[in-house]
Structure 1
């Protein structure tokens, strides 16, 4: 038996970090906006003739093998894969993973891989798991691996695809697809890799603790980030592209105010060059400090923005907005 699975990464448009419980409970109407993209994470699971389990990460070149799932060290090499195999109690399988996104890109590659592997293992073990239950497994296992709270948003573009709002409230987390023409949005986006792995410019645990401890500046920043996400969602729904650019500028300004380490001199230079070439707004993806950034521009200015970023040392990543989320096949 063989199972192949894959899941898309994402661009986080606005509202990030508020998706970590319990931060969103303190900001009514909290939501994040994201767009799934075609740079996918892949998992291939093949049944073996014995009970051994072998884990292979093609991206890192790391390989782990044990007599069965019980023999895998969840604190050793490839801990995310090991913990997922432990949860599903899988033995007698070779599990191979790879990602189309650069290492440390900040576009939720680990969450996409998590969803792809969890979905693949569920299929391999013939377990029918509802969407939100599978996402809860993925989120909780990742929290075990990184030993800090994880947000709710990144698993949803990986599972569902599309452009969406993740609404966060007292009664739970709910994904709402955004009604827009994806081609109109895609034609205005440029994604670039800064060639530096992200360094967690926003320390989620530190920011979360400061918020809970009553840091007025952090609370005010998150309130503005919440308001920006609401305004950007409205602008996207109206097709008001200049306002989308304005809201993106405000989002980036507040990110830098919340955690100055989210940017670097190289990132500032790249974004400055993009804006001089016509970008209406830009921000780093994910935690920042490196990884990817994306720019928003009128379609006619996109070629100049791409050239400006490349001239300043960035690698331009070709992609399209991905309407399909988790894929599982049985070749």
Structure 2
């Protein structure tokens, strides 16, 4: 029994979240989401053959054992079961380890899904794996019992920074090269409070479909911001910071709960001390991680202030690598 080790990155999103839910992007005449893989790695260890099946989550302290692969999801690790079941090749043993906090807003469950499906099928990052994303999107909707988007899967399936264009039955992806000055001033920190993107996205989705004017106006603004972000990411770090701020404000207009007390404290202190350029919550907001752009040359001051506030920055960078086998 040969053990394999696979690693899959999580992602940060710069602009255009929620727009990846059908039929929002169709009703709006096409949208864009801008995101990127980052080098926080979920590790998947597996052996393909053996007696029975065992699934272990080191982080959750859970282990499941089956003599035969179950036909219905277990009460724990049901997302893991669902993806492996869809692969039709569940391994004999599977071990999971993630350095990312629960409810981080970094697309952990979706990126894990890419890792599980790709590892089970023996597919590393690339177009063949990206072609499987619609399977994962539908599985996640069944798991959560809510509408789900599909932007979170692509950084794990392709690697790098991406503009995902929602203008047809399946998205087109465009590879982006973030500006070096942006990369040197980009900070991600955890607010200490998890979020639940499924519920937050569902509320925005429901209001949009019902024709709520404020929600439709906010998502139209986010659509315009995301289009500008796709152009600015490689050329204009100052514009990226301003666009992050604008998206944060647009999301707050849909729900003030998107921004937490910790986020407001960071903005207030950063502006007072002169290191703050722009910020938005990762994912749907309401907790989890935040994406912060420090003023050029002020990253160290920003990180020191965050540590003093009990919001230590995470050690990560945008990575060109998606799912890969070690």
Normalising by structure 2, report the TM-score. Answer: 0.92
Distance in 1 of aligned mates of 2:323 and 2:283: 21
Contact 2:89-2:121 at 8 Å conserved across structures: no
Give yes or no for the alignment of 1:312 onto 2:309: yes
Contact 1:285-1:291 at 8 Å conserved across structures: yes
Q: Deviations over 1:93-121 (max 9, x none)?
A: 11111112122111011111111111111
| Structure 1 counterpart of 2:41 | 40
Match of 2:135 among 134, 137, 153: 137
Task: Please report how far the alpha carbon of residue 132 of structure 1 lies from its aligned counterpart in structure 2 after TM superposition.
Answer: 3.2
For residues 156-235 of structure 1, what are the structure 2 equivalents within 5 Å?
A: 156-181=154-179, 183-200=180-197, 203-235=200-232
Where structure 2 has 5 or more consecutive residues not aligned to the other structure, the ranges are: none
Distance in 1 of aligned mates of 2:299 and 2:199: 28
| Structure 2 counterpart of 1:252 | 248
Distance in 1 of aligned mates of 2:166 and 2:95: 34
Distance in 1 of aligned mates of 2:231 and 2:219: 19
Q: Secondary structure at the match of 1:203?
A: helix
Task: Please report how far the alpha carbon of residue 144 of structure 1 lies from its aligned counterpart in structure 2 after TM superposition.
Answer: 1.6
Distance in 2 of aligned mates of 1:129 and 1:72: 30
| Structure 1 counterpart of 2:81 | 82
Give yes or no for the alignment of 1:297 onto 2:294: yes
Distance in 1 of aligned mates of 2:186 and 2:264: 18
Query: Could you say if the C-alpha distance between residues 21 and 142 of structure 1 is closer, same or farther in structure 2, counting changes exceeding 3 Å?
Result: same
Q: Secondary structure at the match of 2:147?
A: coil
Distance in 2 of aligned mates of 1:284 and 1:129: 29
| Structure 2 counterpart of 1:123 | 122
Q: Secondary structure at the match of 1:136?
A: helix
Contact 1:270-1:314 at 8 Å conserved across structures: no
Task: Please report how far the alpha carbon of residue 4 of structure 1 lies from its aligned counterpart in structure 2 after TM superposition.
Answer: 2.0
Distance in 2 of aligned mates of 1:310 and 1:149: 37
Distance in 1 of aligned mates of 2:311 and 2:259: 14
Where structure 1 has 5 or more consecutive residues not aligned to the other structure, the ranges are: none
Contact 1:43-1:95 at 8 Å conserved across structures: yes
RMSD: 2.1
Query: Could you say if the C-alpha distance between residues 91 and 163 of structure 1 is closer, same or farther in structure 2, counting changes exceeding 3 Å?
Result: closer
